[in-house]
Structure 1
């Protein structure tokens, strides 16, 4: 399995590698190389078969091309391309890429399968030690700040809702007015943790807020998509989950599932404290008829 450092190096150097290998390529491989160098945004979402048909070579030639560059298969090369462009595509470019990716397909099946694949990727590649490290840091935090902008706002709100049931010391940072963020973070310090949720396209509001919290000595926990993410590079600990759909929609299935695992792990650590909290809440809900009562038949 590739390490985060290896992924960063590969993702940054793939176009340079292709250009540097050009003299060694066969005639068919040069056509593949030329297309990727000119259209890497589109190539990142293509299967080996589709890329081969587009440039007029066989699927096996595309696979050998990836091997020639040092990858253990076409999917590894494709991931490197995706990691390189992640966060750089405009919404218009993502819609255009999605048009070619899903053209003629069963869109419902294709999207659901894409989400299933992302969940499988998290299961197989998630660093369990890093996960336990994140749980430890949150459990010991003096105060927990949760930050998420753009589409990550809703993921941050979800995490905030459940963390409030486990801890008293939780603040959801509101990002609708950039200037007010620093007022909300004014008292953040060395005993505190900021959970920064950030997915492409990476928000400058998030990056600036994380930098402020880090300058104040807070521990930064990133929930993001890969090691090239700006918040990952500023973090003390991180949880990684893929989110790209190569469309105008960000798929948050894997990040939310990862957050569910984080919440369950924290609840297990706290044991009886959680039971007491929910027992008290049930009493309040019943007393004030929050959810209504089911009439006996």
Structure 2
């Protein structure tokens, strides 16, 4: 929350230097940051009754390079301040119901673009190499992040030898599942606002045991990054009562593909083995009707007589 707190501190620090229009902007942002986060420079100025140029100067007066950087700080503030109920009220007041589908799609597209432009490629390569060299890989993601952790675990189990998805029904059970983690192991922690304390404690525990820590989160200011030297940052802006996780899922997909490329022979062998097992035990079916025809034979009356 450093960046969010920094925005509030900056407004207080520069308050005496503001013009009358900038003072109105400052007062509006402090009181209505949950609404201001959805406004462009032009719309924010119009809402307060000042020009767009005054709004831009307000951002630079606070020490930001421009309005976009100011807006990112504002997003960070909102992300950490609002609970789920407040998010729902803010969002549904902002987006007309008829436009929700298109708005969410467009928001997700922008989130992926921003993530692609700013993600640290060196950190990504480090994550891949760390996973390849680890003896055991632990994965933890709680609440809304649990599907990401489960998805990643499912595919890593096809690529690597020892992958363990940490079940999170209680804090004590988390540590019991990690009791043997050490310096030859790696852990992937996935956490997005509102950040889970159980994930943070698990990452801290792994770090104290000298395990390699990889984090997938939304900001360099995320608390789990305190214990990680390999941080994968994926945007997760608000689109409704939940945070969009399309960008984190894309990062997870990229990790899986990169690991598959590094372990092509092993992956092919595993998939061939799995295909045989799936066929033998009829795990999947290409056509349910054909499957039924192949396995269910109707007896004619003569066969029934012979059977009896």
- Aligned match of 1:175: 168
Specify every segment of 5 or more residues in structure 2 that has no aligned partner in the other structure, as ranges: 292-308
Match of 2:272 among 270, 274, 279: 279
1:55 aligns with 2:55: no
- Indicate whether 1:122 and 2:125 are aligned: no
Summarize deviations over 1:117-161 as a string: whole Å, max 9, x none. Answer: 000001111111111011111111110000011100111011011
Which moved further from structure 2: 11-20 or 200-209? 11-20
The equivalent of 1:152 in structure 2 is 145
* Pick aligned residue for 1:228 from 201, 221, 224: 221
Structure 1: segments with no counterpart, 5+ residues? 1-7
1:76-132 deviation per Cα after TM superposition (whole angstroms, max 9, x unaligned)? 111012123433321122112213332477111111111000000011111111110
* 1:95-244 equivalences in 2 (<5 Å): 95-103=88-96, 106-244=99-237
Q: 1: CA distance between counterparts of 2:132 and 2:184?
A: 12
Aligned counterparts, 1:3-14, within 5 A: 11-14=4-7
> What root-mean-square deviation, in Å, do the aligned CA atoms of Structure 1 and Structure 2 show?
2.0
Query: Which residue of structure 2 lines up, in the alignment, with residue 83 of structure 1?
Result: 76
TM-score, with length taken from structure 1: 0.91
How many residues matched? 289
Identify which range, 252-261 or 10-19, moves more after superposition. 10-19
Residue 9 of structure 1: how far off its partner (Å): 6.5
Residue 145 of structure 1 contacts residue 195 of structure 1 at CA under 8 Å; is this kept in 2?
Answer: yes
Q: 1:281 to 1:14 in 2, by over 3 A?
A: same
Q: Deviation at 1:12?
A: 4.0
For residues 199-251 of structure 1, what are the alpha-carbon distances to aligned partners after superposition, in whole Å with 9 as ceiling and x for unaligned? Answer: 00011111111111111221111000001111112212111101121531121
Give TM-score scaled by structure 2 length: 0.88
Q: Once the 2 structures are TM-superposed, how far is the Cα of residue 49 of structure 1 from its aligned partner?
A: 2.8
1:49/1:59 contact within 8 Å kept: yes
